[in-house]
């Protein structure tokens, strides 16, 4: 990929910073598109001087996106939101923007596009998030049929929004909520494996036009994941069953906050398992062996232990 220009939308995000790093390692030039260029300057040292260029673009503005992809051979779209706020709606960001990005990429002469979606994307889902992800996939396919679509399960790694979120809660709360009884199943996938999947999608000709579902090697219930958080942080939080109806009532209040910890749409998502489909193409089809939660999560949850990372973190008897 030496010298190839790659435009990455959502470059400063959790997955984005990992893919920028991998692209820079391979000698690619990167247009690192984000909302806040100042906050994205940490990306520049990932390459040599001038190799990584943070740039601002509005994913709802076709002219802005056209500038971002100008001259790019490869376009990667990682933009997504977990909740709606102001102009950042599921429809605008996850349904409409992917099609606009695909159109801009096609018109710019890009030969490769990777669209990162999510397991559970479904036009018939009761969840707005899942419906918008499906609509985004369809919009990309209509304009750029040879695009590769990746659907990860919950993505974990340092700075993730799942394990870190509940570990932080366990520091201050005597209880953690088992929404729906904690029976929902997940197949968490390591962020570096997702980055490798994106790179493989770019580099493998037979990945063009394909859809892959990305999950780790093991399946866990919501309860098992929270038990892991408590164990790895040496906390004594209780796990309290919270029926879906009660969680929805609570979420109706919490989603009024500027950064809601829970929304009704997220409760709807938790009613369904988040697993790789049995007939789906997976990480193994891209030549990637997935990393386990048990190997990675303890390396970054230790900072939440009583006394900090370098403490044994044992609670007094």
Each residue's pLDDT tens digit, 154-198? 999 999 999 999 999 999 889 999 999 999 999 999 999 999 999
pLDDT-derived band at 87, boundaries 50, 70, 90: confident
> Could you tell me the CATH superfamily of domain 5-146?
NAD(P)-binding Rossmann-like Domain (3.40.50.720)
Rounded to whole angstroms, how far apart are CA atoms 296 and 275? Answer: 20
Task: Give me the chain's average pLDDT, please.
Answer: 94
Cβ neighbours for 153, distance < 8 A, ≥ 6 positions apart: 119, 186, 187, 188, 189, 213, 214, 215, 216, 274, 275, 276
> Using 50, 70 and 90 to split pLDDT, how confident is the model at 20?
very high
pLDDT tens digits for range 188-230 = 999 999 999 999 999 999 999 999 999 999 999 999 999 999 9
Tens digits of per-residue pLDDT, 116-145?
A: 999 999 999 999 999 999 999 999 999 999
* Residue 317 confidence (pLDDT): 40
Sign of CA dihedral 68, 15, 303, 234: positive
Which pLDDT belongs to residue 307? Answer: 76
- How far is 215 from 201, CA to CA, in rounded Å? 16
Where does the pLDDT of residue 316 fall: very low under 50, low under 70, confident under 90, or very high at 90 and above? very low
Q: Which whole-number Å values give the CA distances from 249 to 226, 236, 244, 267, in the listed order?
A: 22, 26, 9, 10
Ramachandran angles phi, psi of 289, nearest 5°: -95, 115
Please tell me the predicted confidence (pLDDT) of residue 311.
60
**pLDDT at residue 61 greater than cutoff 90:** no
- Binned at pLDDT 50, 70 and 90, residue 85 comes out as confident
Instruction: Name the pLDDT band for 86 (thresholds 50, 70, 90).
Output: confident
| Global pTM exceeds 0.75 | yes
Residue 118: name the closest of 215, 219, 251, 221 by CA.
215
pLDDT of residue 244 exceeding 50, the answer is: yes
Q: What is the mean pLDDT of residues 107-123?
A: 96
State percent of the chain over pLDDT 70: 97
Query: Is the CB of residue 199 less than 8 Å from the CB of residue 27?
Result: no
Structure tokens at 27: 């000698």
Domain boundaries along the sequence of the chain: 5-146
Give the sign of the dihedral formed by CA 231, CA 237, CA 242, CA 244. negative
């Amino acid at each position: 990929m030496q010298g190839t220009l790659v435009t990455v939308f959502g470059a400063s995000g959790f997955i984005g910073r990992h893919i920028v790093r991998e692209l820079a390692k391979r000698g690619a030039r990167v247009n690192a598109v984000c909302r806040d260029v100042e906050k994205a300057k940490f990306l520049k040292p990932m390459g040599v001087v001038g190799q990584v260029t943070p740039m601002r673009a509005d994913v709802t503005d076709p002219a802005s996106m056209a500038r971002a992809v100008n001259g790019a051979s490869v376009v990667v779209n990682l933009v997504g939101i977990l909740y709606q706020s102001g102009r950042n709606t599921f429809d605008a960001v996850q349904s409409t923007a992917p099609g606009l990005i695909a159109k801009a990429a096609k018109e710019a002469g890009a030969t490769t596009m990777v669209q990162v979606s999510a397991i559970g994307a479904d036009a018939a889902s009761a969840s707005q998030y899942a419906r918008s992800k499906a609509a985004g996939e369809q919009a990309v396919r209509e304009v750029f049929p040879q695009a590769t679509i990746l659907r990860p399960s919950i993505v974990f790694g340092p700075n993730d929004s799942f394990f870190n979120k509940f570990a932080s809660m366990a520091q201050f709360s005597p209880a953690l909520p088992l929404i729906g009884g904690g029976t929902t199943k997940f197949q968490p996938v390591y962020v570096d494996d997702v980055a490798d999947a994106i790179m493989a999608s770019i580099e493998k000709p037979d990945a063009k036009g394909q859809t892959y579902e990305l999950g780790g090697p093991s399946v866990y219930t919501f309860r098992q994941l929270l038990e892991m958080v408590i164990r790895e942080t040496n906390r004594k939080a209780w796990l309290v069953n919270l029926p879906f109806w009660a969680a929805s009532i609570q979420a109706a209040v919490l989603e009024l906050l500027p950064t809601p910890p829970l929304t009704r749409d997220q409760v709807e998502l938790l009613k369904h398992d988040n697993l790789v489909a049995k007939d789906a193409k997976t990480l193994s089809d891209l030549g990637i062996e997935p990393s386990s939660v048990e190997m990675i999560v303890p390396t970054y949850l230790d900072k939440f232990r009583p006394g900090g990372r370098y403490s044994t973190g044992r609670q007094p008897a």
